[in-house]
Amino acid sequence: MPIDMVVVHGISLPAGMFGAGHIQPFFCGHLDKNAHSSFADIADLKVSAHLLIGREGLITQFVPFHLRAWHAGESIFQGRTNCNDFSIGIELEGTDDLPYETVQYDRLAEVINVLVRAYPNITRERIVGHSDIAPGRKTDPGQCFDWRYLDCLLTVCSA
């Protein structure tokens, strides 16, 4: 299925902690369930994202863009279900209730600008949050994510 959407996520492991080094093992299926009490319930989940953008702006790619990542879960957008089939998932290290770092927006915009050139069916209306495709189930990237600021940084698509 052609890629025509970007889904922006927020993640921290453990919840609310940054830089602990647990996100990468989680996306690679190697999270130590004994490393934190909250990991027992998630350590065996099979999830992934195409990219992670850390608080300092470091980008880590887990899945090639042309392959499916398992980031969306049960999802629907404009009547289409299974958003993993046609989207690229980008995780930002963060939480719903804390502002993301300026460098994260910079890197996110750089990546999206490249993706839109490679996948021209991605329009601004198809750059969404996890909460937009899984309402009631997911809230990320959260109320502190600044969509207007991201829009100012995007050069290849307009609202």
Residues taking part in catalysis: 91
Residue 91 corresponds to which amino acid? E
CB atoms within 10 A of CB 91: 29
Tell me which H or E stretch contains 7: strand 5-11
User: Distance between CA atoms of 115 and 107, rounded to whole angstroms?
Assistant: 12
